[in-house]
Amino acid sequence: MNWQMSDESLNQKQLLVDESLFALGNGYLGVRGNFEEGYPENYQTIRGAYVNAFYDQATINYGEKAFGYPETKQKIMNVIDAQSIQIFLGDDAEPFSLFTGEILSYSRKLYFDQGFSERKIYWRSPTGKEIKLKFHRLVSFVHRELFAMELTVEPVTFNGKISIVSTIDGAIHNFSDQNDSRVASADETGLDVISSRTEGDHSIVLDQTHTSGLQVACVSSLESSVPSTKRVDSSKESVDTTLSFELTQPVTITKRSIYTDTRRHGEHPDEKGVAILKELRENTFSEMLEKQHLYLNDFWKTADIIVEGDSLMQEGIRFNLFHLLQSAGRDKFSSIAAKGLSGEGYEGHFFWDTEIFMLPFFTLTNPDLARHLLRYRYTTLEYALARARAMGHQKGALFAWRTITGAECSAFFPAGTAQYHISADIAYSCVQYYLATGDLDFIKKYGFEIIAETARLWIEVGHYSDGYFRIDDVTGPDEYTAIVNNNYYTNVMAKFNLMWAAKTYHLLKMDDPGLLQELADRLQLSDDEAGDWNKASKAMYLPYDGKLKINPQDDTFLQKKVWDFENTPKDHYPLLLHYHPLTIYRCQVCKQADTVLAHFLLEEEQDLETIRHSYDYYEKITTHDSSLSTCIFSIMASRLGNFEKAYHYFSVAARIDADNTQGNTKDGLHLANMGGTWMAVVFGFAGVRIKEHGLTLRPSIPEKWNRYAFHIAYRGTILAVEINRDSVNLSLEKGEKIQVQIYDHAQTIFADHPITIALEKNF
C-alpha cells in the first residue's frame, strides 16, 4: 500500500500544485502534470516540459554594478509542448472538458512503484454524450528521450464520429513572477521555432534558444488501435495531427514523443530524434510500462523506506524518493536542480542543496548515480577556478552558488557568492562518498582535484590572527544573516575540507605516487602546500560562547537584538518577502539551520552538551522559512533524544509538497527537502553516520510507528535495517560481512547470519 498519490480536485489553485505533484521525469526530461486537453481560458497554468540543463542565457541588469559581479545568467527553458491531446465528439465536434458537462466519476493517480500517472474519467457532455476516458503517461527511465502517452476512449451512450487532435507546439514561453524572488523574472531568454514539419508519420518541431544557440527537438507519432483517417496541419510554430474514426468500441490512442538537444545529441537533434523514434516504434505502451516497472523494482529494492503505523508519512516518504529519482541528472551536463524537473522555480539552477541534502540518499542507496552527480561538479571545476580569480584569489576554486553550466548566476552576492561554504560542501560530499563506497578511483580521477582546489580557496580567504585561522566576510547557510566574520558552519566545514585535502594528498602519495606526481606537476602542488592545509585545519577558529555554552553563528550574531517574533504577523512569513534584507540582517533570526546543520555534519567537533545548548538556542529564533530547515532540526532532535520533537519536524518535512505547506509548490517541488526527509529517517531516527572508522547506528523509533525498515549500500555490501518497538534487526543482503557500531558497540554481520539487538530507549 501507499505506492500512489491521488487527487481529484478541479480547484484552480490545487490544479497548479498538482502540475508539480504529478510531474514525471527521468533525470533528462521532465513533464509537468498538466491536463492533456487543457483548462478554461481564465485558469492559470504553468504548462511545462524541461530538458535538464538545457538553458538560454540572459544579461543581468544592475542598477549599480561592481567589479566581479556576474554579467550573465543561465535559465532552464520550458521546451516544446507535446502534452496536448484534444477530443471532439460527434458531427458537431463537441469538445471534451472536465469544466463543462457533468463528471460522473473522476480519479487521478501517480504510481511510485510503476512510474506512470493515470486519469480515469466518466463524463457526460453538455448535450448528453457519455464516454469513459483513461489517460496514461510516462517518461521512460529506460529510454531517456521518450515521453509516451496512451488514451483509451470507451463509448457509453455515445456512438459516432470522434476526432483526436494531437499537437506539438514550439511557441513556448517560460513562466515568470516579478513579485517572488524565488521564481524566475522576465528577461530576453526564449526559444525560436526553427522548423515545424512532418516526415512520413512523424511530426517534428525544432527550436533554438535566443542567446545560447542551443537547439531542442521534439519528434512525435500518433497511432490508433482501429482504422482511422488522418489529417496533418502544420504552421510555422506547431504541428496538429487529427485522427478521426467511428467510436463503437473502446479505442486506444498511443502518442510517442522523443526529445533531443544539441548538448547531448550534437548537431541536427531533430534527425537524431527521428532515428530514436524509429527504433522505439515497435514498443507498445504495455511494454514501456513493463520496462518502467522493472526499472523501479530494482530502484526500490535498495531505496525504499517502509513505515508501519503511519500511512501519511509512508506516502510522503515514497513520493519524495520517487521525485528524487525522477530529477537526478545522469550525464556530465546535469545535476539536480532545486526544483528538479517539475517547475521553473530558481530558474533550473543547481545549488549546494544537491550535495548536502540530496546526494546522501544516492550515496547510500545508488552510489553509481551519486558518482555521476559528483562528476558533474568536476566538469564545472574550470568555472570554479575562474570564479575564484574574479574574486581576487590567486589560487583555489570557488564553485558557483547558482548555476547550470558552472558559471555564477547569482546576482545578489550577500546571499549568493558570499556563501563560500558551497566549495567546502562539495568537498565534504566527495569525502562522504569515498568513505561510503571506498571508491579510490573516483578520488584519483575527480575527487582529489576538487578537494585540493577548494582547500586552496580557504588558504586564500582566511588569515592567521592570535594563533587562530580565521575566515572573514562570508555568508553561512542562514540567508537571514549575511557578510559576517567566522561563521561557525563555514569555518568548521573549511576545517574539514583542509584536513581531508592533506589526508587525500598523503593517501595518493602512498597508494599511487606516480599519479600524485602527475597531479602535483599539473596543479603545481607540493608537500609544503599540503602541510599548510593541515596547519590551517588544526588552527581553525570555531566561535564558542562560554556563558551560553553554545557555538555562536558568527562573531557578532549574539550582539544583535532578537527578532520581534511576538509582533510579526503570521502572513509576514517568509520574512524575505516582507522585509528589507538589512532589517533582517540586523537581528538574531535564522531562516534555516546553520550552526545546527554544522553540528549534524560534523558532530565530532563539539561535545554533546554544546550541541544541545546550541540546538535549544537556535530553535527559538529559527523561522524555517527555508524548506531545508525542518529536516535538520528533526535529525538533531533525534540525536539529542527528543524523539517527540524529532517526529514533529519530520512530519512537517515529509509533506511540504504533498500538502503545499509553504504555498509555492506550484513553482516546482522542494527537492532538497525531499532528500532531507530520507536523511531524517536514516540519519535521524536510525542514527546512521558515515565516519572514517566505519558505519555507525544509533536507532530509535517514533512513538507512532510500529516498525520501519530501509537499506544501506556501504562499500559493496547491502545492509538491511529493520527497527521495531523493541529490537533492531540487521542482515546482509549483499556481501560476505560488514562491521558496524551500534550504540557505540562493535558488531559484525555475516551473510546468512542476521543479528538482533535490543532497542535502547535512553541514550
Q: What's the rounded Cα separation, in Å, for the pair 394 and 388?
A: 8
Mark residue 593 as left, alpha or beta (left: phi above 0; alpha: psi -120 to 50; beta: remaining). beta
Q: What's the rounded Cα separation, in Å, for the pair 97 and 747?
A: 61
| Strands annotated E in 93-145 | 94-95, 102-111, 116-124, 130-139
Q: What's the rounded Cα separation, in Å, for the pair 363 and 195?
A: 42
Here the cell at position 476 is: 553561512
555, amino acid identity? D
Confirm or deny that 495 is annotated as ligand binding: no
**In sequence order, what are the residues at sequence separation of 6 or more whose Cβ sits closer than 8 angstroms to the Cβ of residue 718?**
302, 711, 712, 732, 733, 734, 735
- The backbone torsions φ and ψ at residue 392, rounded to the nearest 5 degrees and listed phi first, read 95, 10
Mark residue 486 as left, alpha or beta (left: phi above 0; alpha: psi -120 to 50; beta: remaining). left
Confirm or deny that 352 is annotated as ligand binding: yes
Confirm or deny that 123 is annotated as ligand binding: no
Question: Vertex 277, ends 273 and 282: CA angle to 5°?
Answer: 170
- The backbone torsions φ and ψ at residue 126, rounded to the nearest 5 degrees and listed phi first, read -55, -25
List residues with catalytic annotation. Answer: 479
Beta bridge partners of 162: 89, 245
DSSP, collapsed to helix, strand or coil, labels residue 468 as strand
Contact 634, 570 (CB under 8 A): no
Confirm or deny that 134 is annotated as ligand binding: no
Q: What's the rounded Cα separation, in Å, for the pair 578 and 573?
A: 7
What is the pairing mode between strands 238-247 and 160-169?
antiparallel
Q: What's the rounded Cα separation, in Å, for the pair 297 and 318?
A: 13
Contact 703, 724 (CB under 8 A): no
**Which class for 682: exposed (0-12), middle (13-18), buried (19 or more C-beta within 10 A)?**
buried
242, amino acid identity? T
Q: Cell 545522469 maps to which residue?
A: 330
| Annotated binding residues for substrate | 352-353, 591-592
Known binding-site positions: 352-353, 591-592
